[in-house]
Amino acid sequence: MRVTAHAKINLTLDVVGEEGGYHALDSLVATIALGDRIVARARTDGRVFVTMHGMGSERIPAGRNNAALAAERFFAAFGGGGADVTVYKRIPIGGGLGGSSADAAGVLNALAKLYAIADMGALKTVADGLGSDTGYLLTGGYARMQGRGERITPLEGLPALHLLIACPRRGVSTPKCFRTYDEQGKTYPPCTERVRAAFAAGDAAGAAGMLGNHLFAAAAACEPGVAEAASALRALAPLGVNMTGSGSASYAVFASAAEADAAARRVQGFRIIRTSTFPLPSVGGKERR
Helix (H, G, I), strand (E, B) or coil at 225: helix
The verdict on whether 89 is a catalytic residue reads no
H helix or E strand, kind and range, residue 7: strand 2-10
User: 8: closest CA among 106, 115, 82, 110?
Assistant: 106
Indicate which residue of 113, 133, 182, 203 is catalytic.
Answer: 133
Q: In angstroms, rounded to a whole number, what is the distance separating the alpha carbons of residues 254 and 280?
A: 14
3-state secondary structure 92-111: CCCCCCCHHHHHHHHHHHHH
Name 260's Cβ contacts closer than 8 Å, sequence gap at least 6: 162, 163, 164, 252, 254, 274
Q: Measured between alpha carbons, how far is 143 from 133 in angstroms, rounded to an integer?
A: 11
Out of 8, 36, 89, 128, the active site residue is: 8
User: 261 catalytic, yes or no?
Assistant: no
Angle made by CA atoms 163, 236, 13, in degrees to the nearest 5: 50
Instruction: Please give the Cα distance from 278 to 262 (Å, whole number).
Output: 20
Contact residues for 233 (Cβ-Cβ < 8 A; gap 6+): 164, 166, 241, 250, 251, 252, 267
Catalytic residues: 8, 133
